Structure 1
Amino acid sequence: MDISKIKANEVDTTYGFKIGNPEAPVKIIEFINLRCPYCKQWYEESKELLAEYVAAGKVQRIIKHFDKEKPSLAKGNVVHHYLDYTHPEKALEEMDYFFEKQDEWGDLGGAADVEAYVEEKRGLSLNPNEKEINGIIEEAGRANVVFVPTIFIGDEIFDEHITTKELKDLIEAELK
């Protein structure tokens, strides 16, 4: 991933699901799309380590579900509109499900099929989260974030190609 054009100073914690202590010394900002297989890789490989740091009060995750115009991610955009920004822990549970079943719902015909799946399988309904979603899209535009996943920890910007050890080292360096 070419990060040379990304303006990290345009990325903040205003929009997104906030998981963990707002006073945590380390903020991890994650631009993801639920249909993206690379986002799934990042999510699954970092999940346990990040959960430990969040539970310890050392990290707060800000997860930004990024609606992308790319056709292969359109079904993820549909799912994003069903997540409840007022209940981030519940949204995190839903992310677990949607990443686990990504191929199942991702192979459905179109947006209406995905909507029906989300409503039937998870009992979710559309949420009035347009302000959040539009804020994330605008923020990504200002910051030149074009790929998912794009993750920020302090001055570091990276994608799914990070080992658990490298991730831990980045977090530990921010804690010093």
Structure 2
Amino acid sequence: MSDVQFTAEAALNFGPANADHQVVLILNLGCPDSRQWYLNNRQALFFATDSGSIKLQLKFWNKPVADLANGNIANKFIDYSQPKAALAYIDAVYAQQNELNAAVDAIEFIKTNFKTSTTTEPATIAAIDTEVAHNQITSLPTVIFDDQIYAEDTLVPLTTLLDN
């Protein structure tokens, strides 16, 4: 797809704007596959951003699927204006994802366990939904590496993409 378009405004942004590679990750805090890919690649992602190799955008999509309902709620507590604090929240939620997904009251679970009340701006959520639809993203997780979309059967570790 040659017209892949994502904005930095509706993302957690890491790494220099002039990095060698542009990476956009579409994740969901309630999705076990998102958690697995993120945790397996987290160290490589942030080593590459810190070394200036990649410009990373993290976007959390509220995919309308019943199994992701609590993850969609958790996504709404990401503070996109505070990337470092948001990373701590993301790591904490992924560490307790099973409990989050089992929670009867996800909002209470989040407020109690993560001591947060900040919510994502509705405009940010709408922008992510628009970008996901425009770019025909249908699965979680999705990795966009230099405008090439990787998902499901084509999803590979970040190190594989960097080595090519």
Match of 2:109 among 104, 107, 117: 117
3-state SS in 2 of match to 1:31:
strand
Match of 1:152 in 2: 144
For the pair 1:170 / 2:164, whether they are aligned, the reply is no
Match of 1:105 in 2: 100
Match of 2:128 in 1: 136
How far does residue 172 in structure 1 lie from its aligned partner after superposition?
4.2
Aligned length: 162
Contact 2:17 2:55 in 1 (8 A): yes
Deviations 1:127-149 (A, max 9, x none): 24211111010111111111111
Which aligned pairs between 1:53-132 and structure 2 lie closer than 5 A?
53-109=48-104, 113-132=105-124
Quick one: which amino acid aligns to residue 81 of structure 1? K
> CA 1:38–1:20 in 2, change beyond 3 Å: closer, same or farther?
same
Distance 2:74 2:2 in 1: 27
Match of 2:5 among 8, 11, 15: 11
Contact 2:80 2:120 in 1 (8 A): no
- The normalised TM-score by structure 1 is 0.84
Unaligned runs of 5+ in 2: none
Unaligned runs of 5+ in 1: 1-6
3-state SS in 2 of match to 1:9:
coil
How far does residue 69 in structure 1 lie from its aligned partner after superposition?
0.8
Deviations 1:69-109 (A, max 9, x none): 10111111111111111011111111111111100111011
Contact 1:39 1:160 in 2 (8 A): no
How far does residue 156 in structure 1 lie from its aligned partner after superposition?
2.6
Contact 1:10 1:139 in 2 (8 A): no
Deviations 1:6-52 (A, max 9, x none): x4524323321112223322111011111001001110111111111
Distance 1:77 1:8 in 2: 29
3-state SS in 1 of match to 2:3:
helix
- The normalised TM-score by structure 2 is 0.90
